[in-house]
């Protein structure tokens, strides 16, 4: 056996770093029927309510598998683009081609009239966001109107499926009665209702649809059967027919909340690593070489539509679940911890020029939802810093809207501190000599752990110190992936 400085294989579930094989499509040419009742080998008419970053790829996926698809959206510009065969979502690989192909084949159209579309449909898939209000409670300002918009079109035989992540019990207890009241029909008798969580990752949606098992749970047996039959006709992964809608709802909440709790634990580990002078990346790699350990990565915080939101959907119904609540507070506190570290390193932040690199919640995804850059900029400004920012996905106006002064890549600057908020690989190419006043780099995702810095510039990682970083630089191997 050999002796190595780092495990040769690190098992980690972080960010999809373990990639199950993509399943080939084995669907045969379907037979179009209307009305559709879930018979194997048949397709019908489906509407997708919410033609956004996830809804539009779903519409394309359904059309590619022989369904007649209508994408419903409240934005007339989105509807017009789809009806011209164009995708308004630019960042998803393969989506523009998919929209053009499905439109040209006559299987994809769009409308703002949800009721009329539902009236002609066999299946309605709703995927509009449920976010949080100012008190971190579920906000239904998009979902309630979306449900109401199809109310007048609900008819006997229609199958309604929610893909939006919901608080436990909403499919049965909130939305089914709402649709029953609007239609005068009975759920799981006259029309059918199910929940099937989207399990998609921006930038890899079509691969995900051929990889991850599709979870489906109905409000009753026939609802579950029809929803499972629908997904069996459109996805190239296995379909898991769960016992009920609540089990399917809980599965998505458990999945994402697990990640939030895991990251919070990693952040606690990172704090302790700083205290004892040990490189947390070395510790995590070593721990994850044992197959039962799947420690995620620490970082400056957790952003995006999912991980910082869905734990609150559980807490809204079960506020006594302490581990979940503590984990949310732990991850949200990371920005404050970073501010304190900068203040200690610089002796204060008043009038200090600071450059924030990375504005979106994750590199390569143009989305600001719950991005930790926003509270980071707010807190830096509150403490008197002069905040500049750069993100390759945002223009000057978008950065100014986030209350920072735009920095232009490659230009010199007066910055005394640089903070990375995403792990964009571009940061590793930065010419630090452009900043002669630079004193501190706070590496919010530990993605610069092996990058050389000029003399006199201190490195602050998340559980990575200057001394342990230097040892990492001397060790062969790539830097570990940054957290999300």
Task: Tell me how far apart the alpha carbons of residues 301 and 299 are, in angstroms, rounded to a whole number.
Answer: 5
Cα-based angle 431, 437, 443 (whole degrees, multiple of 5): 60
Query: Within 10 Å of residue 369's Cβ, how many Cβ atoms?
Result: 17
- What is the reported pLDDT for 3? 53
φ, ψ dihedrals at 43, nearest 5°:
-135, 170
- What is the reported pLDDT for 469? 78
- What is the reported pLDDT for 188? 97
CATH no. of 31-250: 3.40.50.720
- Topology agreement, domain 31-250 and domain 278-484: yes
Residue with tokens 């400004």: 381
Residues 6 or more apart whose CB falls under 8 angstroms from that of 112 comprise: 72, 73, 74, 76, 79
- CATH H-level, domain 278-484: superfamily: NAD(P)-binding Rossmann-like Domain (3.40.50.720)
* C-alpha atoms less than 13 angstroms from C-alpha of 92 in its C-beta half-sphere: 26
| CA nearest to 74, candidates 35, 113, 106, 37 | 113
Residues 6 or more apart whose CB falls under 8 angstroms from that of 141 comprise: none
Tokens of 48: 């997708």
H-helix or E-strand spanning residue 332? helix 322-332
φ, ψ dihedrals at 48, nearest 5°:
-115, 115
Question: Which positions of the chain have pLDDT values less than 50?
Answer: 1-2, 11-17, 476-484
Read off the pTM. Answer: 0.90
- What is the reported pLDDT for 290? 85
Give domain limits for the chain.
31-250, 278-484
Task: Tell me how far apart the alpha carbons of residues 147 and 440 are, in angstroms, rounded to a whole number.
Answer: 51
- What is the reported pLDDT for 478? 40
């Amino acid at each position: 056996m050999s002796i190595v400085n780092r495990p040769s294989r690190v098992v980690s579930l972080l960010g999809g770093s373990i990639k199950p094989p993509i399943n080939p499509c084995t669907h045969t040419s379907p037979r179009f029927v209307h009305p559709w009742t879930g018979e194997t080998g048949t397709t019908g008419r489906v509407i997708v309510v919410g033609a956004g970053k996830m809804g539009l790829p779903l519409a394309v996926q359904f059309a590619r598998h022989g369904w007649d698809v209508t994408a419903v959206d409240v934005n007339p510009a989105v509807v017009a683009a789809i009806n011209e065969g164009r995708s308004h979502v630019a960042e998803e690989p393969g989506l523009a081609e998919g929209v053009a192909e499905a439109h040209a084949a006559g299987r994809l159209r769009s409308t703002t009239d949800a009721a009329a579309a539902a009236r002609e449909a066999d299946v309605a898939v709703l995927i509009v966001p449920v976010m949080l209000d100012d008190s971190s409670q579920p906000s239904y300002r998009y979902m309630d109107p979306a449900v109401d918009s199809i109310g007048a079109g609900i008819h006997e035989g229609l199958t309604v499926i929610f893909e939006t992540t919901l608080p436990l019990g909403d499919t049965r207890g909130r939305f089914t009665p709402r649709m029953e009241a609007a239609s005068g029909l009975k759920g799981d008798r006259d029309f059918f209702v199910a929940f099937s969580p989207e399990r998609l990752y921006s930038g890899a949606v079509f691969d995900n649809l051929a990889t991850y098992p599709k979870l489906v749970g109905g409000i009753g047996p026939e609802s579950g059967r029809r929803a499972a039959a629908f997904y069996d006709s459109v996805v190239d992964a296995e379909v898991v027919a769960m016992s009920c809608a609540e089990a399917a709802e809980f599965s998505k909440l458990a999945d994402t909340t697990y990640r939030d709790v895991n990251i919070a634990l990693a952040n606690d580990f990172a704090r302790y690593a700083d205290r004892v002078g040990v490189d947390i990346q070395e510790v995590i790699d070593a721990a994850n070489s044992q197959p039962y350990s799947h420690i995620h990565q620490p970082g400056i915080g957790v952003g995006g539509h999912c991980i910082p939101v869905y734990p609150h959907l559980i807490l809204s119904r079960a506020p006594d679940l302490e581990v979940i609540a503590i984990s949310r507070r732990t991850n949200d506190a990371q920005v404050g911890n970073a501010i304190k570290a900068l203040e200690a390193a610089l002796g204060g932040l008043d009038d200090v020029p600071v450059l924030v690199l990375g504005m979106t919640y994750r590199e390569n995804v143009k989305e600001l939802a719950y991005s930790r850059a926003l509270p980071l900029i707010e807190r830096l400004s509150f403490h008197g810093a002069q905040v500049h920012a750069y993100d390759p996905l945002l223009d000057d106006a978008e950065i100014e809207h986030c209350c920072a002064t735009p920095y232009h890549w490659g230009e010199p600057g007066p910055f005394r501190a640089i903070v990375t908020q995403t792990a964009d690989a571009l940061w590793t190419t930065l010419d630090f000599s452009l900043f002669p006043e630079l004193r501190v780099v706070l590496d919010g995702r530990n993605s610069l752990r092996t990058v050389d810095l000029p003399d006199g510039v201190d490195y602050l990682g998340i559980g990575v110190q200057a001394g342990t970083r230097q040892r990492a630089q001397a060790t062969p191997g790539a830097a570990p992936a940054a957290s999300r």
